[in-house]
Amino acid sequence: MKKSFFVILVSMAFAILPLFAQDAEDPDSNDFYYVKVPIAKIYPYSKGYVVTYNVGTYGTELDTVYLPASWFSTKESKGFIINLKGTPVLPNLTVYYRNGAFDHVRLYVRENRSDPTWGYMPLQTNIDDRFENVTDISLKFGRREYQ
C-alpha cells in the first residue's frame, strides 16, 4: 500500500513539472549569437584597433572595422583581447550580438607582435575621426551585412 502511494505521488510530481517549464517563445529571453571572422591584419592605433578581415568567399576582398580603445577598458567591457598563446587557432574577430544588437567583441590574437597578422600604422596616419561615435560593429560578407 505504501509503495503504490509513493509511486502515485512521484508520478504526480513528474506530471506537474511541465507546468513550470519556461516557454521557448518567451519575449524576454535573450537571443544571443556570434559571428566569427578570420583576421587578415590588426593594427594597434592610439585610439583603438583597426582590424581588416576577409569578406569574399575566397578571401579576395577585405573590409575594415574600427574598435575604440575605450571598449577594452574594464569600465565599458565591450571588448576583450584573448592571447592565442601556444594554440593552433587562427587569429579572429568574434562579434557577439544579443537580441539583434551589438553586445561585445573578442579579439583572438597572437601574443607575439612580430606575427604576420600584426601590422603597424605609419606615424603620420591620422584616422582619429574613425573611432569617434562608434557604438556597434557591422560586419560585411559579400552582399550580406551582419548587424
Pairwise CA distance, residues 51 & 39, whole Å: 7
pTM: 0.73
Q: How many domains does the chain have?
A: 1
Count the neighbouring beta carbons within 10 Å of the beta carbon of residue 117.
Answer: 19
Whether 35 is covered by a domain: the verdict is yes
Winning range, highest mean pLDDT, from 16-20, 26-30, 112-116, 138-142: 112-116
Q: Where does residue 65 rank: exposed (0-12), middle (13-18), buried (19+ CB within 10 A)?
A: buried
55 or 38: whose pLDDT is higher? Answer: 38
Whether 140 is covered by a domain: the verdict is yes
| Alpha helices, H only, the chain | 2-16
Q: Note whether 42 and 81 are within 8 A (CB).
A: no
Whether 11 is covered by a domain: the verdict is no
Whether 93 is covered by a domain: the verdict is yes
Could you give the angle at the alpha carbon of 142 between the alpha carbons of 65 and 89, nearest 5°?
A: 60
Whether 67 is covered by a domain: the verdict is yes
Q: How does pLDDT run across 58-108, given as a tens digit for each residue?
A: 767 889 999 999 999 878 789 999 999 888 889 999 999 998 899 999 999
Q: Is the pLDDT of residue 26 over 80?
A: no
Whether 3 is covered by a domain: the verdict is no
Whether 13 is covered by a domain: the verdict is no
The average pLDDT across 22-44 equals 77
Pairwise CA distance, residues 105 & 39, whole Å: 13
4 or 80: whose pLDDT is higher? Answer: 80
Mean pLDDT lowest among 14-18, 20-24, 89-93, 95-99 = 20-24
What's CA 33's distance to the chain center, in Å?
Answer: 8
Whether 73 is covered by a domain: the verdict is yes
Q: Give the residue numbers spanning the domain of 113.
A: 23-146
